Structure 1
Amino acid sequence: MTRLIAALLAATFATAATAQDAALGTWQTEVDDGAFAYVSMTPCGGAVCGTITQTYKADGTPYQSENIGRQIVIGMAPKGDGTYAGQVYRPSNGKTYTGKMQVSGNALRLQGCIAGGLLCASQNWARVK
């Protein structure tokens, strides 16, 4: 009985990890307020979180932003078929929004929404690695 429970738990956690695999890795953001970043997407509990690891001016020149190390994708829980729901933090205005994310291959669409998801701003990110 103990082996059966262990096998069921392992299968459950393996399924959750597999659902997250599409979003894991390093992604390049779009230019926002004159700069872009590399964001490392990693597991956090049963969700995915993203932390800024490098920052660049719009022309590609690296610079040391105070936002390096800041988590901007927060608790994006997989909903199936490459979609996620959680929160998004925008460093340029210091606000956290309801977040949606869609991953398809090497493309990620991130949305920050207000008014119950009626008004959303979005960015398209590209996988770096």
Structure 2
Amino acid sequence: MIRSFVLAGVITVAGIAHAEEPIVGNWKTAAGDTAVIASCGGSYCVTLKTGKYAGRKIGTLAGTGGSYAGEITDPAAEKTYSGAGKVSGNSLRMQGCVMKILCKSQTWTRL
């Protein structure tokens, strides 16, 4: 009986360790393009899947539990900014900032 309880606890912990972060998946950007966010090298890479800049990596974010920080690139301007992402249900609020003072945000929707 104790052995069954310990085994069930190990299976539960293992399941939690391998659960995907809420940010992982396909997202519709504010511009209407599709971006895919996937695990890459201990963080999460943001790559455009459709649109004029399809195939271009536009960000790298790290974090857990729905809050992430890193860098975001505006592919049209070819400029990289301090970035952050916050997942709430099927919405992802992306923010890019210059010197943490001038910030712009947009909301992406999970596909």
Deviant stretches of 4+, over 6 Å: none
How far apart in 2 are the matches of 1:102 and 1:73?
Answer: 14
How far apart in 2 are the matches of 1:68 and 1:108?
Answer: 20
When the two structures are superposed, what TM-score results if normalisation uses the length of structure 1?
0.69
Q: Where does the alignment leave 5 or more consecutive residues of structure 1 unmatched? A: 1-10, 56-64
Q: Does residue 127 of the first structure (1) align with residue 87 of the second (2)?
A: no
What does 1:1-129 align with in structure 2 at a 5 Å threshold? 15=17, 18=19, 21-31=21-31, 36-55=32-51, 65=52, 67-74=53-60, 76-78=61-63, 80-115=64-99, 117-128=100-111
Residue 94 of structure 1 aligns with an amino acid whose one-letter code is E
How far apart in 2 are the matches of 1:110 and 1:54?
Answer: 18
Q: Per residue, is there more helix in 1 or in 2? A: 1
How far apart in 2 are the matches of 1:51 and 1:89?
Answer: 10
- Give the greater-gyration-radius structure (CA): 2
CA RMSD, Structure 1 to Structure 2 (Å): 1.8
